[in-house]
Structure 1
């Protein structure tokens, strides 16, 4: 997504003529973020406007599609395994920040040796 592009819900820009098409395409792109983490932020930005997309929002979607076309060989690769194995790791630092007494927790889940979920 362009660093200078700012998307707003209420603009003077005309509304997009086919909001169902916009919603359909955003839904497909959300599904694609499972293997293309590089577009996750951009998709989260454009998915905020599915109730009333404008032409600027549609242009942002087209910009993402052009990026995907140029970078078609990238993404996550999942290895095929013969036995089903699920493995998880977690860690916690209770009150690790003395200044404001916050704790940090993280986890990651591997399926067949492939990272499928993480959070910190």
Structure 2
């Protein structure tokens, strides 16, 4: 079992489940992304009102953190396959203390691929 994540009180996090993209190696699949960064940063149905509150975008697979991004800019996707979905451009945090930690106690792992933490 992985070590549980300990969230800083100042972090406002958008957790995104990247399981489908993380394990996809078929370049022709709609879930294929060339990197964990690309899987984490785009095509999310998220609250426009919460965008400005998000300080980190955290990509996880079954609750285990695989990517941490500080979003610098958000915009609606221009890909016609993903209308009304947002993507961000940001900086990867390769030395984040959240990487490889277990966030499953904070988020519900189910059909909804996004979860907010401290973004109200």
Shared topology, TM-score over 0.5?
no
Q: Which structure has more helix as a fraction of its residues?
A: 1
Return the index of the structure with the highest Cα Rg: 1
The higher relative CO (CA closer than 8 Å, separation ≥ 6) is in: 2
Q: Which structure has more strand as a fraction of its residues?
A: 2
